Amino acid sequence: QVQLVESGGGLVQAGGSLRLSCAASGRTFSTNAMGWFRQAPGKEREFVAAISWGGGSTRYANFVKGRFTISRDNAKNTVYLQMNSLKPEDTAVYYCAAEAGSSWYGRPAYWGQGTQVTVSS
């Protein structure tokens, strides 16, 4: 089992930045591929970004490329999502997720409870 707890959400003006953190506990964190999803009101949950177990491989949704950066610190059992140049359409609940293994397949086995990000215009 992997337990995930997100933090760092909040209210920010358009053009601003936030950094989300996801603290993991339980089984060995460093062997899991990790990712972020988001869900806006009335919309389905969508993929945002993912990172391999060692941090050497990342992938992003097209709508965040160049603005968001995913990273991880395995010594701290934490994955981050640095969000810059935020737009009102980035408003959503952001979820941290973990694969059961070291590769990212987009089918996480574990989820956090989510953290709200609100971007005002």
Task: Considering only CA atoms, give the Rg of the chain.
Answer: 13
Question: Mean of the pLDDT values across residues 65-83?
Answer: 95
> Are 32 and 102 a contacting pair, CB within 8 Å?
yes
19 φ, ψ to 5°? -120, 120
**pLDDT band at 28; cut points 50, 70, 90:** low
Q: Is 83 helix (H, G, I), strand (E, B) or coil?
A: strand
For position 25, what pLDDT does the model report? 87
**pLDDT band at 61; cut points 50, 70, 90:** very high
**Residue 79 neighbours by CB under 8 Å, 6+ apart:** 21, 22, 24, 34, 36, 51, 70, 71, 72, 73, 96
Q: Is pLDDT above 90 for 26? A: no
CA-CA distance, 42 to 113, in Å (whole number)?
A: 18
- Residue ranges in 12-82 assigned as alpha helix (H): none
Q: Is 118 exposed, middle or buried (0-12, 13-18, 19+ CB in 10 A)?
A: middle
Q: Is pLDDT above 90 for 2? A: no
